[in-house]
A and B are shown apart, each in its own frame.
Chain A
């Protein structure tokens, strides 16, 4: 019976102990007319048959194991050292649950505390939580914090149009029950345009760094302008870019959120990912989700525990600001192991490889007839490419040559029809890039 270990003899003994003749009698409280329906499901399968079917299904996908991939747009194909997966596969980590009993959960607790610490180091913030579901929901939770900090007296939320389109959708889904206005994302404008939207009714302003187009905006003046009206500056940052570029903390952010997937989490068709959330000390009590803190046990030994618990739904119930219960525990562990392995020098090196390879590709493609790269701003590992033909057509041609091309920006931005967002990471070899350039050159 698959994963059920009972023998017939044991089942009989157990039924006798309970005092019933059959397991079915235990379901008497279920209305008889609805009890024991037949289910239209496929028949059972053995382990080896399921394994074969899973392999067959997985191979009916165009994946980065078979193709050279130049697509990012919020999900990135980076190198993951073998150690990360080996640590994740330890049953002690992945078959444990939320560390409600800290005495026998110090492994999860310390690893999560170290994750929080390394996220603070990357972002330049004072505190980070144990994570949210993904980058998009982290941004939605940041809106809640901004509304709380400004005591629900301010109803305007400014989101840059250069924040990931799906993140903006998620913010709207989360806050549709509230009496607030979400603006800024309909424009084409730059940082100056966003600053002009600020007023005394603004709770927060959010930008993405690098922005959805891979570019680093000049945001030196942004923090002062936001703080002048008493609002919060939220920066959605790609943690991989923070290996090189100034930390959002240095740039004056109050909250930093984003997608932790680039740090050791595979693409996995969009999930599970890792929404990181970091904040200034003065707002830490407004943060949602789990937070791990340091303390002592009864013998004075250092240990870790979930702290600031009274904010959470299981205690505060309807007065909690979020219903979040789980975090992305295992993905936070991936990020922890990844950052520990890379460390100060390795992560910077990976960042540089991304930068150099993306610029190498951009320079070559920019010289092709009919193509032009937007070089108006500095960029990290993604750039906007204007194409001579519809992006879908180009991607089809690339696929035939074993290449997954960039993201079609026309899907989300009317003014960027025939524009492709190209991503190049450390995993793309010079040969792959040269081949991309060659195939693109043949299409015009």
Chain B
């Protein structure tokens, strides 16, 4: 496909910078006698680029420079917890004993890795107050899926397979309702009240009405996606439990809870952790994530497997033997091998740095930074829920007297000031939402600079709204034609292969 070749471009495509015969890597000669290749099974053409090593380096370095990143500046993207990714962890992940360890090695040959996973399971269980943890899910969304499957199978085993409704507040992340469908369950959405909490009357109506026997459970984010700790959380949990349902906690906002409250002690039955949010593993331009799940006694046997356990207690040498166990009623294997181990080891190193006395500081300063920004910005922007927030808060990115300016315009203008915008238009229940999460690793000077930028933008909205409407002005590209992207649907620039049968 030619694409839009005639137009200007920031950086040519990798396919446009090569020359026939060029190779970007220096490979060894074959040191064994060559075997005969089965010609009838071979392909004729392999249409990959042909580029030199330095060209490849420059290509990707130039691309990298078009990105905004945490290493470059403040990244207050709400619900994503864009905290500093410690460099120590990157070095650890590249140690040959981790990076070159085969996933199907005998357990006796992986005692280091298994010890690390065992400890991490224990620590995550301790931080959240749960009985057992499985590290296998590859991302938060997969952790959710595992959790809902566990709830489903638990009810099946209780002879209550008719329980197939999962309650989800309308402030939830989109993954929650999508997870419910994916697990073959039915969704019932609950409204929020004017405090941003779940509307208890609607919850009671759902749990005490004719659907009572069909309630499988509820998914809820704590603190809520508005960044608010649900003051009625106990009532919510009791109502659902009394109806026979189980409680799932979306742990996306765990950065507001560490050593502040244990979800397991609040009587949640299951939750997932986002190691790439709370425990500092890098977001990687969209992944990998890692979404461990924790459960109480009730669901322990249903965890996705394998989980790590002690197979033989300590011998004279002092070390126990660690190995894998498939929980008795496990929902099964949710990905190949044993989870995103590279993320497990980073989370391990992160928790090790803070330790028992330090981990609460992560939450304390994340909440301090968020409340500081909230207190400063509420002077200029509308704050729909005027109370102390957790690790994030939501503003309305709109001014009553300036019709044309929207949250998106404010966000795009922030790029010109050198900041990554907050999350836009989520949660859905706040019009023109700007969800702001500073994290604990930001210094006060940078928070102050962000406040100043937000104040200038509010001023510009009044005096020169066109500056916002046409923003960004200094980013590598201006606003994109997303409709055209869908209509033209150009997804591939490789030369086409001959079609089947040609």
Contact = CB atoms under 8 A, between A and B. Distances in A.
A91 B71 contact: yes
A299 interface: yes
Contact of B63 (A15, A110, A363, A399): A110
Contacts of B284: 93-94, 96, 328-331, 333
A356 B32 contact: yes
Contact of B178 (A26, A27, A37, A317): A317
Interface residues of A, number: 211
A384 B90 CA distance: 37
A14 to B, nearest CB: 4
Interface in B383-437: 387-388, 411-412, 415, 420-421, 423-424, 426
Given A4-B441, A62-B105, A30 B486 contact: no
B450 to A, nearest CB: 14
Given A27-B367, A44-B358, A244-B42, A137 B138 contact: yes
B217 interface: no
A81 B25 CA distance: 7
A314 B46 CA distance: 37
A27 B333 contact: no
Interface string B65-96: 11111111001010010111110101111111
Contacts of A249: 497, 499-500
Contact of B335 (A66, A98, A170, A340): A170
B287 A327 contact: yes
B298 interface: no
A101 B413 CA distance: 12
B69 A95 contact: yes
A302 B7 CA distance: 6
B247 interface: no
Nearest to A307: B485
A131 B288 CA distance: 10
A417 B220 CA distance: 48
A61 B283 contact: no
Given A295-B482, A317-B177, A166 B333 contact: yes
Interface string B121-160: 0010011010000000011111011000100110000000
Given A37-B129, A121-B497, A329 B23 contact: no
Interface string A285-297: 0000011111111
A344 B45 CA distance: 8
A74 B266 CA distance: 41
A435 B190 CA distance: 66
B260 A27 contact: yes
22 contacts: A29-B387, A41-B351, A51-B91, A57-B112, A58-B95, A60-B97, A61-B97, A65-B96, A65-B97, A66-B96, A81-B53, A100-B423, A104-B415, A114-B493, A118-B49, A272-B342, A272-B343, A293-B485, A294-B490, A314-B173, A325-B140, A356-B34
A95 B281 CA distance: 9
Nearest to B172: A317
Given A42-B352, A329-B287, A101 B68 contact: yes
B192 to A, nearest CB: 15
Contacts of B173: 314
Contacts of B371: 18, 20, 26
Given A53-B352, A83-B57, A86-B57, A117 B64 contact: no
Contact of A352 (B30, B38, B494): B30
- Which of B10, B22, B304 has the most A CB atoms < 10 Å from its CB? B10
A268 interface: yes
B477 A303 contact: yes
Nearest to A253: B500
A114 B9 CA distance: 14
B287 A326 contact: yes
A5 B70 CA distance: 15
A137 B332 CA distance: 13
A324 B141 CA distance: 6
Interface stretch (B181-189, B203-211, B238-246, B459-467): B181-189
A77 B335 CA distance: 20
Contacts of B93: 268
A414 interface: no
A64 interface: yes
Interface stretch (A122-130, A189-197, A198-206, A366-374): A122-130
Interface string A153-177: 0000000000010110110111011
Nearest to B368: A23
A335 B398 CA distance: 42
Given A106-B63, A266-B99, A343-B23, A73 B57 contact: no
B289 interface: yes
A41 B482 contact: no
Contact of A404 (B105, B113, B355, B415): B105
A121 B440 contact: no
A82 to B, nearest CB: 9
Interface in A25-70: 25-31, 34-45, 47, 50-51, 53-66, 69
Contacts of A93: 64, 67, 69, 284-285
- Which of A26, A267, A343, A426 has the most B CB atoms < 10 Å from its CB? A343
Interface in A327-361: 327-331, 333, 336-337, 339-350, 352-353, 355-357, 359-360
Nearest to B370: A26
A316 B351 CA distance: 36
Contacts of B367: 23, 26-27
B478 A127 contact: no
Contacts of A290: 286
